[in-house]
Structure 1
Amino acid sequence: MATSNKDNSKGKISLKYKIILGVFAGLSVFVIATSYYIYQMAYTPNVLTQKGAKEQVLYIPKGMKYDELAKKLRTEGTIQHPVAFGVFSKWLGYVDNVKAGRYILTPKTNTIDFVRQLRSGNQAPVNVTFNQNLRFLTDLAGKITNNLELDSAEFATYLQDESTAKEFGFDKDNFISMFIPNTYEMYWTATKEEVVERMKKEYDKFWTDKRKELAKAKGLSQKEVAILASIVDAETRYADEKPRVAGVYLNRLEKEMLLQADPTLVFAHKDFTIKRVLNSHKEIESPFNTYKYAGLPPAPIRLPSISGLNAVLNAENHEYIFFCAKEDLSGYHAFAKTNAEHEANARRYHRALNERGIK
């Protein structure tokens, strides 16, 4: 009987071990399966792009909540596995830490990297481009905000506020000259203050000590250089001719002659469809009428270009005091030292206009 009890005891222990081993094996399988599932959720690519596209751009506006973002990702088909995104958003603390921005995603982006990218706010910059073909701050506001979240009307109001110009050392009329035309990288979420502060830094960077010395040598302030450059830009579209045109105006200023710049009359009339300036246009009462008032007008007539600014600073040294468009209508100009030469050039040009019916 003792032997029988001993065998029963061994049998019970053996059964106990089998149960433990079975439970352990089951748990192991569960852990392995769960771990594999979690691994798959974490590291499986979870971004969808248009067929053939190498990347997807995601915009998250300021103030967007996590639930709104999750819905946006689902409805726009940005992610393949919404559940995985939700799980890791909670685990990594992104649910309460949504950051606005413009994010570049690729088809190989997995869930955990996707959530980490959004949580870190690691957004991609955009190109902000504007050129000299802008006349007013409102035009500039519309152009700058093309690739930004910033509202153009709000930005225009900010730019036209006298206090904004004063903050950066300008007045409302010449504030536009602080914006150097070029292409700049900015974040899509940049505020109006950040944009203008960036433009002031670019302005200061442009105005090196050498450029300041060149301006001083010509008896011009930085703002006066911008005003004259805006006129030069309006007179010719050819960069190689701008230094010569600038030289003409500098000669006239030195001789205390009226500038008699047709583009300033067009600006005074605010009619930019004018192709041919007539004597009647010269009668307008305006500080921009350089046929009536000596010296430079009070502000730029357009956003001065880099080539225009450099043309004034490096103006050609010559004795020309007149110029008019060439009769071939190429856009280039005929230059003259005397009024007689200028009148002859002007007659040829006007004859060409009349022959083509341009009024």
Structure 2
Amino acid sequence: MSRPRKRRTGCFTLLLLAAIVAVLAFAWFRYDTFADAPMRGVRPGASVVVRPGHSLPTVLRSLQAAGVQGSTLEWTALARQLGAAGRLQVGEYRLEPGMTPRELLIDMRDGRVVQHKVTIVEGWNIRDVRAALAKAEPLVHDAAKLDDAALMAKLGHPGQHPEGRFLPETYVFTRGDSEIDVLGRAYKAMQKALDAAWRSRRADTVLKTPDEMLTLASIVEKETGIAEERPAIAGLFERRLKLGMLLQTDPTVIYGMGTAYAGNIRKADLQADTPYNTYTRAGLPPTPIAMPGVASLQAVANPAQGDALYFVAVGDGSGRHLFAKSLAEHQQNVQKYLANYRAAQATRQ
């Protein structure tokens, strides 16, 4: 009678083991499917932020609040398998439709945070830069209430004018970065570019300091958007400075007018004396008038040779200029400009 009982016990054990194996196989299949299947509940444009001190359970609650579905057990098991449970990096992480839990946890483990961008455009002045930063999200806006003097003091350069001090380019930032962070990087980038240009300057340059180079580069930046013209215009201004001629450049007058500039320069504006009016004052203005790019800095460091002392726009909308070595030739070019301008205006009517 004992033998059949043993057989029944053995069969029960086998059935129990089979059931356990089946349950484990199902659990593994479900876990494996969860790990590499697109996350459910992800909304376009959603993200999750890991803050200092956040644990895995805290992050999982943030994911649930963002609409992401999945059991805490599955997320925890996957995080442990990937070595991410105790290594979640601080930052913002984008939740893309089609992204899998494995991809998200690897991003969090390796710190592949969302990167945002803000661009400082060549020729912008400090007001333009401030306005762009004020619109950049999710940048922390810690410079908005600072005037220019306080801003430069905050950046570690008290007493320095901010104009021209921030290199035009696109800057990448992450959530938690501030306007001061971006401006600090832009300042260092400009200083590096200016130092390089100053080291490469021609030996016979009339410029005495890097600051003078920065100021002249800002004028060249505002005078032309044509890359090949920059060295020619830089050379023309160099010759004027050496001869003691007035620079007579409109962008400096416009800068001196500030917010009073309404799009046109009148004769009265050219005659109204300000520290930036190069029609009434000799030499360079007291500060740069815009943010020059690297190309303008290099043009001033190595200006083109020549004998031109005057230039005027072609007037056909191309942005190009006519150069002249004498006032008489310049006056002829002015007439060409007026003729081209009137013809261009007529075609628009």
Q: Is the 8 A contact 1:103 1:122 kept in 2?
A: no
Q: Contact 2:275–2:281 at 8 Å: present in 1 too? A: yes
> Does the CA contact (< 8 Å) of 2:314 and 2:340 recur in 1?
no
Deviation of the 1:149 alpha carbon: 1.6
Among 172, 180, 189, the alignment partner of 1:202 is: 189
Q: Which moved more, 1:163-172 or 1:221-230?
A: 163-172
Whether contact under 8 Å (2:219, 2:288) holds in the other structure is yes
Of 83, 94, 103, the match for 2:94: 103
Deviations 1:78-133 (A, max 9, x none): x5xx124x3344443769957332437462x4323322323443224344433214
* Amino acid aligned to 1:198: R
Report the AA paired with residue 100 of structure 1: G
TM-score (norm. length: structure 1):
0.76
Judge conservation of contact 2:50–2:89 (CA < 8 Å) in 1.
no
1:131-171 deviations in whole A, cap 9, x for unaligned?
214222x42134357665204x5344468353535745475
AA aligned opposite 2:73: V
1:83 is paired with a residue whose SS is coil
- Structure 2 distance, partners of 1:57, 1:94, is 25
Which piece of structure 1 moves more, 157-166 or 11-20?
Answer: 157-166
**Structure 2: distance between partners of 1:215 and 1:231:** 19
Aligned length: 333
Distance in 2 (CA, whole Å) between partners of 1:236 and 1:210 is 19
Which moved further from structure 2: 91-100 or 290-299? 91-100
Corresponding letter in the other structure for 1:306: V
Cα distance change of structure 1 residues 36 and 135 upon mapping to structure 2, 3 Å threshold = same
2:8 aligned residue? 15
CA–CA separation in structure 2 for the residues paired with 1:246 and 1:110: 55
Comparing 163-172 with 230-239, greater Cα deviation is found at 163-172
Structure 1 residue 258: Cα displacement: 2.0
1:87 aligns with 2:73: yes
2:309 counterpart (313, 316, 321): 321
Distance 1:67 1:273 in 2: 55
**Aligned with residue 228 of structure 1, among 204, 216, 220:** 216
In the alignment, the residues of structure 2 paired with residue 182 and residue 256 of structure 1 have an alpha-carbon distance, to the nearest angstrom, of 34
Select which of 25, 47, 55 maps to 1:59.
47
Bigger radius of gyration: 1
User: Does the 8 Å contact 2:217/2:297 carry over to 1?
Assistant: yes
Residue from 130, 133, 137 that aligns with 1:141: 130
Asked whether 1:116 is paired with 2:106, we answer yes
Answer whether contact 2:220 2:233 (CA < 8 A) is retained. yes
Matched residues in 2 for 1:305 and 1:272: separation? 24
Trace 1:323-338 onto structure 2 (pairs within 5 A). Answer: 323-326=311-314, 328=316, 330-338=318-326
Question: 1:39 — aligned with what?
Answer: 32
Answer yes or no: is the 8 Å Cα contact 1:132–1:181 preserved in 2.
yes
Bigger mean CA deviation after superposition, 283-292 or 41-50: 41-50
Q: Which amino acid aligns with 1:203?
A: M
Q: Distance in 1 between matches of 2:95 and 2:135?
A: 18
C-alpha spacing 1:26/1:325, structure 2 compared with 1 (3 Å): closer
Scaled by the length of structure 2, the TM-score of the pair is 0.78
The answer (yes or no) to whether the contact 1:42–1:112 under 8 Å persists in 2 is: yes
Q: Is the 8 A contact 1:162 1:172 kept in 2?
A: no
Work out the CA distance in 1 between the residues paired with 2:46 and 2:212. Answer: 44
Gaps of 5+ in 1: 1-7, 51-55
Structure 1 counterpart of 2:257, from 269, 290, 294: 269
Paired position in structure 2 for 1:289: 277
Residue matched to 2:178? 191
RMSD, aligned CA? 3.6
Determine the C-alpha separation between the residues in 2 that align with 1:283 and 1:321.
Answer: 21
| Residue number in structure 1 paired with 2:327 | 339
Q: Structure 2: where are the runs of 5+ without partners?
A: none
Q: Distance in 2 between matches of 1:242 and 1:156?
A: 34
The percent identity for this pair of structures is: 22
Mapped partners of 2:117, 2:229: distance in 1 = 30
Distance 1:285 1:330 in 2: 31
Q: Give the direction of change, closer, same or farther, for the CA distance of 1:284–1:90 in structure 2 (3 Å limit).
A: farther
Post-superposition CA distance 1:36-62 (Å, at most 9, x none): 222222233326789xxxxx6543357
1:331 is paired with a residue of what secondary structure? coil
